[in-house]
Amino acid sequence: MKPEIRSVAETGSTNDDLMALAREGAGEGLWLRADVQTTGRGRQGRDWTSPKGNLYTSTLVRLKDGDPPPASLAMVAAIALFDTALSYLPYGRFVLKWPNDLMLDGAKVSGILLEREGDAVVVGMGLNLASHPTGLDRPVTSLAAHGGHIPPDIFIADLAPQFARVLDHWRSNPLSATIAQWQGRAHAQGTPLTVHDGGGDPVAGVFDGLNEDGALRLRLEDGEVRVIHAGDVFLV
């Protein structure tokens, strides 16, 4: 299905708008991009600063019988973002960081937010093209800071068909094939990580890949492998 891209000058949240359109029966392949979001948000309800010049977009996936777990659509979005960004900044040192971040030279450059209602999954993506926030608890950057000056309407024209290709691969193959694609774009196994799962003190270990459902494998100092299904991951 050929993607349909709609653009608006301003909205509260492209995810909220697409969720409303999904309830009205909108089909898969619909994209919405906003120049500015006034109530954008990231994972765990965090605010997502949305100045003009960056990419704020959401797309709609309709789940089908036999599809892999819906949460793994975050990997589909991450792979599509990685490959599209790399085509514009081929010398950029991009890596994927679990669960859903695109990193550039060790700093976060994008985020992904999945929301579901019935058989509809809205995949929201934010990418710092022109600017990035400062004063956060983690390094953040933009493509422009590395010499990549790409208007959001140009970037999404390449992202939408790239997402469709990765989505078709996700549907047509075992989930292990998408996990392998993701891991091929991630930081190397053995990379030191700290995981904050919200349940206590941070846990330190090294990246030991993903398990069969896409959860993070964290190898601790004593050799134990802990499987992480949710949490914030920091590269050490």
Quick one: three-class SS letters along 124-170? EEEECCCCCCCCCCCCECCCHHHCCCCCHHHHHHHHHHHHHHHHHHH
How does pLDDT run along the chain (236 residues), one tens digit per residue?
689 999 999 999 999 999 999 999 999 999 999 999 988 665 544 555 678 999 999 999 999 999 999 999 999 999 999 999 999 998 889 999 998 899 999 999 999 999 999 999 999 999 999 999 887 878 999 999 999 999 999 999 999 999 999 999 999 999 999 999 999 999 999 999 998 876 667 899 999 999 999 999 999 999 999 998 888 888 87
